[in-house]
Amino acid sequence: MRKIKKKPLVFIILLLVMVFIGTTFALFYSNVVIPNQFKTRIYDVKIEEEFYDTWGTKKVSFVNNEDGVDVIIRYNYNEVWKDTSNNLLDANPGGVGVIKTWVNNGTTTSTQPGYLGYHDGWCYLEKVVKGGDTLQILDSIQLSGGSISSSSSSSLYKDYNLIFNYEAIQATPKAIKEIWGKDIEINGDDITWK
């Protein structure tokens, strides 16, 4: 009979020891969560347009902010004509066109910079735009040829808008391949599109 009484007593003592150890562990254990945040350099590319008169001078440049990461830019543009009633007109109403004087590698040219013949609707710049840099692509526009009156009425054109769209990506071949699906080689500031 004596052995039977010891077994419950040993069991109770072991249970108390386990509760004591568990309580002690809980008192000395703490859980700290430290967020592991990665901050990337921000790039904020803007398009800057300068107008000096109603026609003739319109400068367009891409500007990367001072603290920005180096980027590669692709762009396209739309031309929108409106009459005096603010109605959209067909492109080149009355045969009027707009001559654009582009800037490519620092020199003015009639050839649009970055047009590489991909036929995907984008022009790909061949220079890296570094943080704090400005890259000018358009120097001026001017009307050419035709009549500015509508053939169906006496109303004249009112507005011509040259609207630029662009995308900028970190200047690494891997980023360009993953996002735009293009292979490139970067040598200093120069980009070779393959």
DSSP states along 103-168: EETTEEESSPTT--S--SS-EE-SB-B-TT-EEEEEEEEEEESS-SB-SSSSPBEEEEEEEEEEEE
Count, residues in the chain: 194
- pTM for the structure as a whole: 0.68
Q: Return d(Cα 39, Cα 25) in angstroms, integer.
A: 37
- Residue-wise pLDDT for 122-144, tens only, equals 999 999 999 889 999 988 887 77
Tokens 């562990």 label which residue?
A: 25
* Alpha helical stretches, state H, 29-121: none
Q: Return d(Cα 66, Cα 69) in angstroms, integer.
A: 9
- pLDDT for 153: 43
- Residue-wise pLDDT for 51-81, tens only, equals 766 655 678 888 888 777 899 999 998 888 8
47 or 154, higher pLDDT: 47
- pLDDT for 154: 39
- pLDDT for 1: 47
